[in-house]
Amino acid sequence: MTSKTYTDKDRETKKLYYLKNKARILEAARLWREKNPARARESNRVWREKNAGQKAASRRAWYETNRDVVLARQAERYRNLSDAVVRSMFCAGSGLQSRDVPNELLPAIRTTVLINRVLRKQRTVK
């Protein structure tokens, strides 16, 4: 199998064609994905496997440039005890998974965590 090497002119031509026909190309791709969901999933899976290193490097670079934002959001979620945080705290070390914790149990767990925070704060003050 021979692979075609693109010249700069070929790349420029394709780029201009895409820019002129972007809406039509995107719509055709969307329709194809709707008609061929299994093939689209397989295509996405193959792309993810082939580009895993590139994707990981991109995520790492984004994290490094936005580390303070990520940590601030994480601290905010722990401060406000979001549902995901409450689930993860409850499941930590128990062998349970987040999906095993029913939504009806979250307020009780959240209240317990808040009580423990108050008690821990009082112990450190004394």
> Shortest CA distance to 90 belongs to which of 109, 107, 103, 76?
109
pLDDT of 54-72, one tens digit each?
999 999 999 999 999 999 9
CB environment 65-101: b (16+ within 10 A), e (fewer): eeeeeeeeeeeeeeeebeeebbbeebeeeeeeeeeeb
Q: Which tens digits make up the pLDDT trace of 69-116?
A: 999 999 999 999 999 999 999 999 888 999 999 999 999 999 999 999
Task: Provide the whole-model pTM.
Answer: 0.54
Give the total number of structural domains in the chain.
3
Residue 21 in domain: yes
Considering the domain architecture, whether residues 21 and 58 belong to the same structural domain is answered as no
**Torsion sign, CA atoms 94, 70, 58, 64:** negative
* 73 and 90 part of one domain: no
Distance CA 125, CA 47 (A): 55
Name the strand (E) or helix (H) holding 20: helix 8-20
What is the distance, to the nearest Å, from the Cα of residue 41 to the centroid of all Cα atoms in its chain?
18
Structural domain of 36? 9-50
Q: Is residue 4 part of a domain?
A: no
